[in-house]
Chains A and B, each alone.
Chain A
Amino acid sequence: MGSPGLHIRIPGLTIGTWPVLGGFALDFAPGQTTVLLGPSGSGKSSLLRLMAGLLPLPAGAELSASDGGPVTSRLAWMAQQDLLLPWLSLQENVVLGARLRGETPDMDRARAMIAAVGLAGREAALPAQLSGGMRQRAALARTLVEDRPFVLMDEPFSAVDAPTRHRLQELSAKLLAGRTVLLVTHDPLEALRLADRILVLVGHPALPEEIAVPAGTPPRPAGDAALLAAQAALLERLAEAVA
């Protein structure tokens, strides 16, 4: 697909008088999935919001794409809540981006993506008529319809039950392959299954730290021995970061 990479450099981020993030620079390789972990309040969501343009970049910060093009107009955002509009049908929710930009939505693509997340036949349903897992799949379809090279996900599967989460991880790894993805999570297993690269935010103010990723391409099977061993080690590392 040829998605460009991303680069961010910040001199630090302070929210109110509280220093959240320290100064650092990160490069996100083209077409790779980077997973950002860290204890609650470590600033992982803040970093993601900075990159999404939802928080103003602090003075001296720099956000750029490896091909020199714009960033904020080429990204798709997926949050912990499905953020479906309760008054719109599933299909209309999926094409929301085009509607909000005043463009004519591509209904064929919308139907294809709804089918890809396994919701074919439910196009006319209102969000209230769908289960939590189905709504999160609808949100994934909406993200895919946007067809952006950069995808930023903020704990996208944390509000659903474990088996649904497992299936959603597989689905998103398959459908988002080739894009430059930044995924924030607090679930070590999710990180180890989906990541090409894992970063843990530690310390105060927080700095990113590389964590080794098990062999194999995502989505890695959850029962893999190396993955389970890595999960135990990662959990230890996160627990240290909290202490």
Chain B
Amino acid sequence: MKGAAALRLLVSAVGLVVIWYAVVWATDAPHFMLPTPRRVAETLLRQWDIIAGHALVTLAEIVAGLLAGAVFGMATALLVMAWPPGRRWLLPVLVISQAVPVFAIAPLLVLWMGFGAASKIAMAAIIIFFPVTTAFYDGMRRTEPGWLDLARTMGATPRAVLWRLRVPAALPALASGLRVAAAVAPIGAVVGEWVGASSGLGYLMLHANGRSETDQMFAALIVLAAMALALYFAVDRALTALLPWQPDSITREDTP
């Protein structure tokens, strides 16, 4: 089964490369518009040192942003759940804050926090904060009513209801939020790098684009995509291992 999945991935990759070649051949595009896969692969190998250095910077920003955003998101959801005034005052502010496009405040973040990693971490954290908060909060609110009834007849303390019922019951929902967060955190970091940075894949791509070194841009893009995918699957695996009781109805590959 594992081998079959790997084979499918390989076939898809080869298929993409073939389509890529076909587009280059059909449009007869010059290499600074659309480089061939071969040219990109050569650039990737030749400039590996430079690209890997920038990739590590971006990866560190993404992971730090993911951690910060997840911690703030979870803390906010708990505050809103456990403290009714927080619900009345904080929840509307949270919703309104989503009306401000995160991309629009990126220049401000760079202005305030500088060209270093801090502004990129903040960017990634802000972009994942809302999905994590809402997923966790909704999960806690949708705790099975029967469990809450049972807790009430047992004379449960509000604290115990929160920590022993609502929080564990919300963990599968929180896991969905964290999966989304893992997928979108790279966007935050890269946008931050575009606006102003001295290193990172976003910075590298912006400059390669300016110098019409499209092959280097594609090489950086491939590394970024590979990193984002690896991060997503690592988070997905870790969450599945941590929540063994969570029912997964797709246990077989052919489940519709």
Convert A41-61 into 0s and 1s, putting 1 for each residue whose CB lies closer than 8 angstroms to a CB of B: 000000000001110000000
Q: A81-B146, A99-B164 are in contact. Are A76 and B153 (CB under 8 A)?
A: yes
Q: A83-B146, A85-B147, A86-B245 are in contact. Are A73 and B155 (CB under 8 A)?
A: yes
B156 and A100 form a contact (CB under 8 A)? yes
B160 within 8 Å of A (CB atoms): yes
A54 and B165 form a contact (CB under 8 A)? no
A159 within 8 Å of B (CB atoms): no
Q: A54-B152, A73-B155, A126-B245 are in contact. Are A85 and B146 (CB under 8 A)?
A: no
A128 and B168 form a contact (CB under 8 A)? no
Cα separation A96 to B168 with both chains bound (whole Å)? 14
Interface size on A, residues (CB 8 A): 24
Interface size on B, residues (CB 8 A): 23
Q: A87-B168, A102-B160, A128-B245 are in contact. Are A97 and B154 (CB under 8 A)?
A: yes
Cα separation A85 to B153 with both chains bound (whole Å)? 16
Q: Report which of A53, A85, A102, A126 forms a contact with B152, defined as CB distance below 8 A.
A: A53
Q: How far is the CB of B77 from chain A (nearest CB, A)?
A: 19
B157 and A85 form a contact (CB under 8 A)? no
A221-235 contacts to B (CB < 8 Å): none
A73-104 contacts to B (CB < 8 Å): 73, 75-77, 79, 81, 83, 85-87, 96-97, 99-102
Q: How far is the CB of A235 from chain B (nearest CB, A)?
A: 29
Cα separation A85 to B144 with both chains bound (whole Å)? 10
Contacts of B151 in A (CB 8 A): 100
Q: How far is the CB of A146 from chain B (nearest CB, A)?
A: 7
B135-168 contacts to A (CB < 8 Å): 144, 146-147, 149-157, 159-161, 164-165, 168
Cα separation A179 to B153 with both chains bound (whole Å)? 17
Across the two chains, which residue of chain A brings its CB closest to B156?
A100
B146 and A100 form a contact (CB under 8 A)? no
B157 and A100 form a contact (CB under 8 A)? yes
Q: How far is the CB of A243 from chain B (nearest CB, A)?
A: 32
Cα separation A28 to B247 with both chains bound (whole Å)? 42
Cα separation A122 to B183 with both chains bound (whole Å)? 40
Cα separation A86 to B144 with both chains bound (whole Å)? 12
Q: Can you pick out 19 interface pairs between chain A and chain B where the beta carbons lie within 8 Å of each other?
A: A52-B149, A53-B153, A54-B152, A79-B149, A81-B146, A83-B147, A85-B168, A87-B168, A87-B171, A96-B150, A96-B164, A99-B160, A99-B164, A100-B154, A100-B156, A101-B155, A126-B244, A126-B245, A128-B247
Interface residues in chain B, defined as those with a beta carbon under 8 Å from any beta carbon in chain A: 144, 146-147, 149-157, 159-161, 164-165, 168-169, 171, 244-245, 247
